[in-house]
């Protein structure tokens, strides 16, 4: 079985796969202003809604200063435990390894875009 029911999502929207054991090193090595960690699960209807929304507007949800990361928490339970997940999808935003915020569930493309854009502007100020 594939990782997602949204065909070719990770081929069409570039996200780096990370595992719980490497997350801190990946975040520490970031040259991006922000890192967005997308925690999702295989066959998760709400995760698929988020994926479809992201694919519908990839240019509006991409910023050159933002690196996207992802982890299937069904395959990496340590990641889910680390962040105390109660549901997916969940997005965590980091700047230089420091956690800035959490977006639980998919709020819609515009609300998501606004939240990330505001964090990005604050970090670049």
Per-residue confidence band for 8, with pLDDT thresholds at 50, 70 and 90: confident
User: Which distant-in-sequence residues (6+ apart) come within 8 Å of 91 by Cβ?
Assistant: 36, 37, 38, 39, 102, 103, 104, 112
The pLDDT of residue 3 is 47
Pairing assessment for the beta strands 90-95 and 16-17 based on DSSP bridges: unpaired
DSSP for 57-75, please give it. Answer: SGGGG--TTEEEEEEETTT
Yes or no: say if 83 and 37 are a contact pair by the CB < 8 Å rule.
no
Architecture of domain 9-124 in this structure: 3-Layer(aba) Sandwich (3.40)
pLDDT of 30 strictly over 50: yes
Domain ranges of the chain: 9-124
* % of the chain beyond a pLDDT of 90: 89
Q: Is the pLDDT of residue 102 over 70?
A: yes
* Helices assigned H by DSSP within 1-108: 9-12, 23-28, 45-56, 77-82
What average pLDDT score do residues 12-37 get? 95
Q: At 125, is the pLDDT very low, low, confident or very high (cuts 50, 70, 90)?
A: confident
In this prediction, residues 79-107 reach a mean pLDDT of 95
The whole-number pLDDT of residue 5 equals 60
Mean of pLDDT over the chain:
93
39-54 pLDDT, tens per residue?
999 999 999 999 999 9
> What is the Cα 60 distance to its own chain's centre?
15
């Amino acid at each position: 079985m594939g990782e997602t029911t949204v065909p070719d999502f990770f081929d069409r929207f570039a996200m780096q796969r990370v595992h719980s054991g490497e997350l801190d090193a990946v975040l520490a090595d970031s040259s991006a202003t922000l890192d967005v960690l997308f925690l999702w699960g295989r066959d998760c209807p709400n995760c698929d809604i988020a994926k479809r929304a992201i694919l519908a507007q990839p240019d509006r949800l991409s910023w050159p200063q933002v690196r996207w990361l992802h982890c299937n928490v069904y395959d990496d339970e340590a990641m889910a435990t680390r962040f105390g997940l109660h549901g997916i999808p969940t997005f965590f935003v980091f700047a230089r390894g420091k956690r800035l915020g959490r977006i639980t569930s998919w709020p819609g493309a515009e609300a998501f875009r606004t939240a990330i854009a505001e964090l990005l502007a604050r970090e670049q100020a």
